[in-house]
Each structure stands twice: as C-alpha cells, then as structure tokens.
Structure 1
C-alpha cells in the first residue's frame, strides 16, 4: 500500500527537474498524478514514463501565467481523476541581471510565473478542495532565496519571498476547510535551471565555472554538496502525507545547512 493511495496530485513544471522527481515519487506511492507543463509534448512524455512504470499519470498543457489555461487545466485533472488533493506549485524560471539593468519585461515575466502562477493554481485548486470540505495540501516551491538574497536575482528573490506570504495566508484561510500549505525551500539543486546559471555567472562575475560552484553556489553549505531532486521529492512526500495541521504555513529549508532558521 502506498502512502498516497487514492490521492490526486497536480504538479506544475513537472515535465523535468524537481517537478518530475516529485511526480514520479508520488506515483510510486499510489497517487494519480497530473504532469502540468507549458510544454505539452514533454508533459505527455513524462506521464508516459510513469504509466509505463505502473503508475497513473496524465499530461496537461498549462501556462501558469494564463488564468484560463490554469482554470481549464485544473478542471481537466478533476474530470480525469475525480478529485484534487495535492497541488505542487513548482513551475519556475530564472533570469539574472543587476537591478539597474533589469528589463521591466523580464521582471514582470519572473513575477508572473512564480507569483501569479502560485496564486492562479492555488485559486483553481481551492475551488475543488473546498467543495464538501474534502481538504487538501498545497506545496509551493520556494527557495533558500525565500529567506535570503543573492546578487543578480532581484525578481526571483522577491517572488520567492512572496510565496511565503501566500502560503501563510492560505494556512489561515484554508484551515476551516482542512487545507494546509507548505513552502519547500531548496538550496542549489543541479537541475537544468542551475546548470544554465553556472556559465552565466562565471561570465558575469569573471571567474571560472568551478569557482562558481565552490565559492558562489555551495560556499555556505556544511559539506559542499548539491541538494538533489530526490531530497526535495522526499520532503514533498513527507509534507503531503503529514496527518495534521501541526505543520501548516511553514517553510522547510532543504539546503545542506546553507540557510538555517
């Protein structure tokens, strides 16, 4: 028996990286999983892998900044699987630049994906979770940057801080409906998003790629080790299966000691 038997999970940005790892683990634990991603083909491919491994998954095209796409995509999930119990709001991108050179369009794009996406997917999910007080769990993918700042990442840091406010508000509003919220705050995970940043930061800072890894990304960890997608997936599983509101409105930093709270 899986710990998520009978549960339905919608995960955004789930065709790759952290989102895909969470989807695969949830499916192994018995959840029916909706792989939501801006790339329909990639979502379908990830869902096909889960189905081939004996799980249950569907791919859904979803631009989390598009109100209609989020609402219709969420409704499709409920039509397919009959309910919605877990939302993992994970879709994200990174654009780096100093504040004085940041294009306003890039600032707005970053806030739209991380914050508007968090809000829109939450609102769509709650319309199902509140129905008959079925309840549910909403997990946001924050970051160590929900608590600290790094140069060149103003909109990312701003958005990840903002998710804490959304989660804490949801914890209070959702409690009467048995809905809980959590924010997972990873340190550096070696996803394609992070791989892309290594040469970018090396160029911007005028240092080697090895120095970016050792002296920028991992310098404040206790062991100089990247967090893994499995570390984050295991945390997401723990929070999805925790049985009471003793844990709600909290952030969980998974970062090899980079940030401690």
Structure 2
C-alpha cells in the first residue's frame, strides 16, 4: 500500500471531499486524523475507517481558531508519534455580488480557507521539520486560477492559497517538506448543491442553466469532477517520493482549466 506508516491530518474530513480523502488514505495504509468542526461527522468517518480495519481518530477543529488547531494537531502527534501529511481541506462558500457582500461574510470565507490553511500549516510543520519529511497538501480550486462572478471571497481565498503553498514549497524545502495544491473543478458536494439555487437567483437563470453553463460549460465533456478523482490526486501527492513535485497545482476539472 502506498501510505503504510503515514500519519495524515485531514481537515473538513467529516463529509464531502475531506471524507473521501480520509477514506482513500486509510485504504492505502495511512493512519488518519479526521478533523472537522462537526465532531459527529468526524466520528462517523472514523467508525467507517475502523470497520475496514484501518486506524483513525476524530478531532474537533475549528480551523479559524489558532488554539483549537494547535491543540488538535498536537493531540494527533502525541497519540501517533509524528505527522507526515497535512490536507488543508476545510472550507465554506458564500456568494454575493461585491456591492452586496457583507464584509463579515467575506472575512469568514477567507479566514476559513486561507487563514485555516495558514494555521494548520504552522501547527503541522513544527512536527514535520525535525523529521525532515512531510507533505503539505492544500485544497485549492479552478478558482485558484480563474475568476467567476459572485465569488469574490472564495476566489480571493483560493488565489491566496496558491501563493501561500508556493511560499511553503520554498520554506519547507530545506526541511524535506513538499507543498502542493489540488485544484478541483465543480464536485457535486452539498456545498456545490447549495450554490445552484443561490446562483440561479443572483444571475436570473434557471438551476439547469447554472449547472450546464456556469458550472460545467467550460469542461470538455460536461461532467462533474468526482470526489474519488480528487482523493486519488491527494494519495498521489502524499505518496510522491521527492521534491521533484513541489510548489505545483494539479487541476482536476475535466479540462475546465488547462495549464
């Protein structure tokens, strides 16, 4: 198995893409810390991992709270001895035109996506650097490279994650730590499902048009990216053996963004 002996911390892992990454890591032999602000979801994923013969622990973590992030990461390291892989996946989505975007909501999106990535990284590298090994994986988006209407906070945060990950590729190199970003297209998660009626109302089009034109219009085949697609890339990045692959963004989008 590709990740035997690897200890991974995955945020937002109680549901959606994070859950699928946690399960994929465990299937490849990793020990997984399932971190989520909703502890019930995290515990359910842990139970799923354990039923399959894997090892996992649930961690309640609000990624915008530095004390909670530090305590959660330290608890993982104390239980399992080390941390090899970090997946900063926790996120939310709020959409508005800029002129109607409450600043409090803008900051919330940025704090969870970008601030959470920063806090998780800061907490994890103190365990990785002494071992001179580690993989930092960030959940970006096609919106790390492109912009869409109504998503000023999300696009700003995802662009910021790309820049931050590249800084970590340079800072982490001398400590044997790699840093990369996964940039999915639209994945039909509950987060995306909630966007469909919101965008239909804001754009004055049908929900079917939101899916076919706004979400999938730029793909080569009109297909959603799947959670399995994203999880497979996360396993690849976690198991990659050298710094030949660092500071990169891998776009998983059915050709929506190429390059």
With normalisation by structure 2, the TM-score equals 0.99
* Number of the residue aligned with 2:63: 64
With normalisation by structure 1, the TM-score equals 0.98
* Number of the residue aligned with 2:188: 190
Output one character per residue of 1:144-197: Cα deviation in whole Å (capped at 9) or x when no partner. Answer: 000000000001000000011111111011011100000000000000000111
* Number of the residue aligned with 1:243: 241
User: 5 Å matches for 1:69-148?
Assistant: 69-133=68-132, 135-148=133-146
SS at match of 1:166: helix
Q: CA deviation at 1:38?
A: 0.4
Q: CA deviation at 1:132?
A: 3.6
Q: CA deviation at 1:215?
A: 0.9
* Number of the residue aligned with 1:153: 151
Q: 1:178 aligns with which of 153, 176, 179?
A: 176
* Number of the residue aligned with 1:212: 210
* Number of the residue aligned with 2:167: 169
Q: CA deviation at 1:28?
A: 0.5
SS at match of 1:94: coil
- Equivalenced residue count is 259
Once residues 46 and 196 of structure 2 are traced to their aligned partners in structure 1, the CA distance between those partners, rounded to angstroms, is 30
Once residues 155 and 229 of structure 1 are traced to their aligned partners in structure 2, the CA distance between those partners, rounded to angstroms, is 23
Once residues 230 and 15 of structure 2 are traced to their aligned partners in structure 1, the CA distance between those partners, rounded to angstroms, is 13
Once residues 254 and 127 of structure 1 are traced to their aligned partners in structure 2, the CA distance between those partners, rounded to angstroms, is 30
Output one character per residue of 1:199-222: Cα deviation in whole Å (capped at 9) or x when no partner. Answer: 111111121111111011000000
SS at match of 2:8: strand
* Number of the residue aligned with 1:41: 40
Q: CA deviation at 1:96?
A: 0.2
Q: CA deviation at 1:81?
A: 1.1
SS at match of 1:160: helix
Which moved further from structure 2: 87-96 or 196-205?
Answer: 196-205
* Number of the residue aligned with 1:25: 24
Q: Gaps (5+ residues) in structure 2? A: none
- The CA RMSD over aligned residues, in Å, is 0.7
Once residues 162 and 213 of structure 1 are traced to their aligned partners in structure 2, the CA distance between those partners, rounded to angstroms, is 26
SS at match of 2:150: coil
Q: Gaps (5+ residues) in structure 1? A: none
SS at match of 2:114: helix
Output one character per residue of 1:78-105: Cα deviation in whole Å (capped at 9) or x when no partner. Answer: 1111110000000000000011111010
* Number of the residue aligned with 2:255: 257
